[in-house]
Structure 1
Amino acid sequence: MKVDVVSRECVKPLSPTPSHLKRFGLSLLDQLQPQWLYGTIVLFYAPTPSRSVDEKLGILQKSLSEALVLFYPFAGRVVDAITIECNDEGAFLVTGYADVFLHDGFLRSPDADSLNMLIPMIDPTTADLARTCLLIVQATVFRCGGMAIAICTSHKLVDGSSACAFVKTWSALALASANCDLIGQSDKIIPQFLGGSLIPPKIDMPTNFMVRTTINPRGEKCITKRFVFDGSRIASLKEKFLPRIVSKVEVVQALILKSAILVVSRSEPEYPQRPRTSVVSQTINLRKRMEPPLGEDTIGNHFWMDTVCLGEGGFELAELVEKIREGNQRFYKETAGQIKGEEAFSVIRGLLREREETLRRNEEVGRAVDVYRFTSLSKFPFYGIDFGWGRAEWVTSPSNFEKLFVLVDARGGEGVEAWMTLKEREMAMLEKEEEFLAYAKLNPDLTSGRHSRM
């Protein structure tokens, strides 16, 4: 597949940001995030003959300008580690055209390399031009008139919940514009920007504060593949846990983790002589854990990557779920509520030192440490996003980092889609693991039931 980019432009807010909001102070959790790290959501839409491509692109641009009035920091620029200048320079909007049909071409085998062509920050030219932007969007039009909308948000300010709030508001404004009335306006979210008022930043933050606990970019010999766990297979997998009640994300995460630990260990040249310690890290939304709880309209980084040390060896599925649950509950009870106010820095410093100590202790005795990172966008209502030409047909969020597993609701809502990034030799072994493949389908076709050229 080839994508021809025909325009790159900055979309400014429809009205200027008031002078008293021109400087936005970030929180400590924002401060910890690098500006270069972007979260990505890609939404796919079938062609709709009732609206031309130019009309759709016009609606997207106009409504984006309107949404930026409400989400004004998204149109600003990062000044330093703790400040955004809300100067209305705008969000970056890219328009491209793909030389394939959506259904008869792209969705038959949506591999990671093709998907990356739809993501603006993967393109070197766009990445260079938009490197200071907090929000970058690419609208890619397929030969049939179908469209992919990729939304990249900088983790300097935006977590998954914040991204969802923005997209819901943007689409509500687009729907109202497309229908020339107020339909959809009720779905827009009035964002709450707390910034550093709840969790103040640390002015003299040490440069090595995050030490080795940050995420590592994907290595040269890594490969990313998409696996889908449909609802019936997840239901079958849940039967292994009865009478314990588990969620679909828990069982899928446990199966991925068990399989990944197995193939990573066996793929190493020193296996089985050198012992290995497995650590799992997963995104925790802190909003409901705060006292008092924060609403989903609270914009910013209100999450933490909770880490649970699993120890050495292979694990059964139920054991993995129990270990992760115990670690999460301990974090909820002992730590989550303390990440606020002036004491937040010392709490976070303690968590990071604990992670570093785990690495150091294992290295001293010759153990390798494997960190498996999970992030889940399950339950976020991205499939309901309608810009005025129907709901999204497919929503996805690819992984681009080693040992990162991104979980998204599959089409229909019952299943789970996972983008998994491993070293090539590890992935080759995973594709032969019988227990894993009994529940996971490798990159299944997304065009079942369609016969027309789209």
Structure 2
Amino acid sequence: MALKVEVYQKEKVRPSSPTPQTLRYYKLSLLDVLAGPFYGPHVFFYPSGAGPRRHDYDELKESLSEALSILYPLAGRLKDGSIIECNDEGADFVRANVTNYDLGEFLRHPKLEDLRQLLPLDPNPDVIDPAMPMLAVQVTRFRCGGTTVGFCTWHGVADGGGMTGLYNILAAINRGEGATDSGGGLVVDVAAIFSPAISNISQIMLTAYAGMKKELGKYTTKRFVLSKQDIERIRNQYNPSEHHRRPSRVEALSAFVWAAVIRATLPVNPILKKHSVSHIVNFRKKLNPPVPSQCLGNILYGTSADWEVGGGEQVTGQSLVGRVVEAMDKFTSDYVREMQEGGGFLRSITSQQSKIVDYNKGETKVLSTSSLCKIPLGEVDFGWGKPIWIGMPQTLLNLALFVDTEDGGIEVWIELDHEVMCNLDKDMEFHAYVSSTHIVYESSGHLSSAL
């Protein structure tokens, strides 16, 4: 049965105090623009009666107004692709009701198309409109009285850490604890650290992402859950060599998933010459001086490791984990300093063009991995208790997203070509460590809002 969501109110929420003219323009950095022309979507689920406060949407709206006065770029509008004009036009605030489901009933088998209805807008717009908000929030009440809070935050303004900073400030204000960042420390001049340096870069990125949309065919999104014990089993099997340390749980899981995806891809794409895995690294703490762990901006970058087809090497997580660990270990504070001082980030991005050419020829397959583990999304308490689940209704092909579970395990959201996912489903080595599998989406063709 399809979810029935009825929107009954839409309004703008402006900052509770005006942004000073001295802060009128917030420049996006090179990494902000490269983050992509889309929104980061999260949906938090709260049962009724779980926390000390009732689900008061008027109160949440007022809290959002206070939060916007602190994180003022989120109340602005995009200008010329590389600047946010902090004009206090505000964020969208949408109220809706679900008429045919209780919260618990919905969570038994959440689907991507239903999760999207709990968002205030399409997270993957086809065109960039200067009137688009940097932030939109939707509160949806289920038939049982439970609530979802769906966020769409422009990715050019904030990565996962920055979005979590927004959520936690909003939650603290709504709990009655007041603003925790009155000094403005979560708004950092990231453009001064990573200058955009390229004219028309936003248009270049928009064109690139539009091309990716057109190439989509049939694909499937699934959510695989691995327990804390099974993740430790994987780590313990991946014995460090004399050259590498013991992998972290995310490094071990990255190698485990990458190996399984390679095995699933080989029969589908026999002309491939190389498989690459990239992992997004949050390097706020590696900057000198470091910046707050939940500040706005995209202060992350990808490391990559490669595996060549035809080398005769068996494709296992054990055989690949050393490559993942080695790539992660290169991302030191000294490396970040060198990249900053010499324009290294721009050179690195330019050097990736050869890999993009190989990808377009069909010779290289790239799996992107991103971890939200240890990011305190599960602590976002509006006074209603902690969320019982967090939905990630984004669509990024060939992406594996890692999210902590409440009991110490990890959810792995993976989106792959349908044929590749079918092969992954048959991989007994992979499923020997998976506690449960949930189909989130299966396409029959193109999804216009997907990347």
TM-score, normalised relative to structure 2 = 0.85
Equivalents in 1 of 2:51, 2:411: separation in Å? 31
Aligned to 1:379: 374
Contact 1:265 1:276 in 2 (8 A): no
Is 1:14 matched with 2:11? Answer: no
Once the two structures are superposed, residues 126-169 of structure 1 have per-residue CA deviations (whole angstroms, 9 ceiling, x without a partner) of 99999611111121211101111121111111111111111110
Q: Mark the runs of 5 or more structure 2 residues left unpaired by the alignment.
A: 440-451
How many Å apart are 1:407 and its aligned residue?
0.9
The letter for the 2-side match of 1:15 is S
Equivalents in 2 of 1:442, 1:150: separation in Å? 25
SS at match of 2:340: coil
Is 1:38 matched with 2:20? Answer: no
The letter for the 2-side match of 1:98 is V
Once the two structures are superposed, residues 149-195 of structure 1 have per-residue CA deviations (whole angstroms, 9 ceiling, x without a partner) of 1211111111111111111101000110xxxxxx4655888423214
Q: Out of 407, 411, 416, which is 1:417 matched to? A: 411
Equivalents in 2 of 1:148, 1:316: separation in Å? 39
Contact 2:39 2:124 in 1 (8 A): no
After TM superposition, the structure 1 = structure 2 runs for residues 2-401 of structure 1, keeping only pairs within 5 Å, are 2-34=4-36, 36-48=37-49, 56-122=56-122, 132-176=132-176, 183=177, 190-202=185-197, 204=199, 216-217=212-213, 219-242=216-239, 245-268=246-269, 271=270, 274-312=271-309, 314-332=314-332, 335-340=335-340, 343-344=342-343, 347-360=344-357, 368-401=363-396
The letter for the 1-side match of 2:117 is M
Contact 1:4 1:97 in 2 (8 A): yes
SS at match of 2:396: coil
The letter for the 2-side match of 1:64 is L
Aligned to 2:444: none
The letter for the 2-side match of 1:200 is S
Equivalents in 2 of 1:439, 1:21: separation in Å? 51
TM-score, normalised relative to structure 1 = 0.85
How many Å apart are 1:14 and its aligned residue?
0.9
Equivalents in 1 of 2:26, 2:207: separation in Å? 29
Contact 1:168 1:187 in 2 (8 A): no
Once the two structures are superposed, residues 275-331 of structure 1 have per-residue CA deviations (whole angstroms, 9 ceiling, x without a partner) of 431011121112122123222143211111223223225522123221012122224
Contact 1:362 1:368 in 2 (8 A): yes
Contact 1:130 1:136 in 2 (8 A): no
Shift in CA distance, 184/245, structure 1 to aligned 2, threshold 3 Å? farther
Q: Mark the runs of 5 or more structure 1 residues left unpaired by the alignment.
A: 177-182, 446-454
Contact 2:162 2:295 in 1 (8 A): yes
Equivalents in 2 of 1:130, 1:392: separation in Å? 33
Equivalents in 1 of 2:188, 2:346: separation in Å? 25
Contact 2:40 2:123 in 1 (8 A): no
How many Å apart are 1:103 and its aligned residue?
4.4
SS at match of 2:16: coil
Aligned to 1:451: none
Shift in CA distance, 149/361, structure 1 to aligned 2, threshold 3 Å? closer
Equivalents in 1 of 2:64, 2:87: separation in Å? 16
Once the two structures are superposed, residues 58-79 of structure 1 have per-residue CA deviations (whole angstroms, 9 ceiling, x without a partner) of 1211100000000001000011
Shift in CA distance, 56/382, structure 1 to aligned 2, threshold 3 Å? same
Aligned to 1:179: none
Contact 2:99 2:143 in 1 (8 A): yes
SS at match of 2:326: helix
Aligned to 1:180: none
Equivalents in 1 of 2:323, 2:370: separation in Å? 17
Equivalents in 2 of 1:27, 1:119: separation in Å? 27
How many Å apart are 1:203 and its aligned residue?
5.8
Contact 2:63 2:173 in 1 (8 A): yes
SS at match of 2:110: coil
Shift in CA distance, 171/126, structure 1 to aligned 2, threshold 3 Å? farther
How many Å apart are 1:13 and its aligned residue?
0.6
Aligned to 1:430: 424
Contact 2:76 2:89 in 1 (8 A): yes
> Identity over aligned residues, as a percent?
29
SS at match of 2:162: helix
Equivalents in 2 of 1:306, 1:10: separation in Å? 39
SS at match of 1:89: coil
SS at match of 1:120: coil
Shift in CA distance, 112/209, structure 1 to aligned 2, threshold 3 Å? closer
Shift in CA distance, 86/278, structure 1 to aligned 2, threshold 3 Å? same
Equivalents in 2 of 1:29, 1:200: separation in Å? 9
SS at match of 1:266: coil
Mean Cα displacement is larger for which, 158-167 or 200-209? 200-209
Equivalents in 2 of 1:425, 1:31: separation in Å? 33
How many Å apart are 1:351 and its aligned residue?
1.1
The letter for the 1-side match of 2:309 is E
Aligned to 2:398: 403
Contact 1:111 1:226 in 2 (8 A): no
Equivalents in 2 of 1:201, 1:290: separation in Å? 18
Equivalents in 1 of 2:437, 2:348: separation in Å? 37
Shift in CA distance, 107/206, structure 1 to aligned 2, threshold 3 Å? closer
Mean Cα displacement is larger for which, 332-341 or 430-439? 332-341
Aligned to 2:448: none
Q: How many residues align?
A: 427
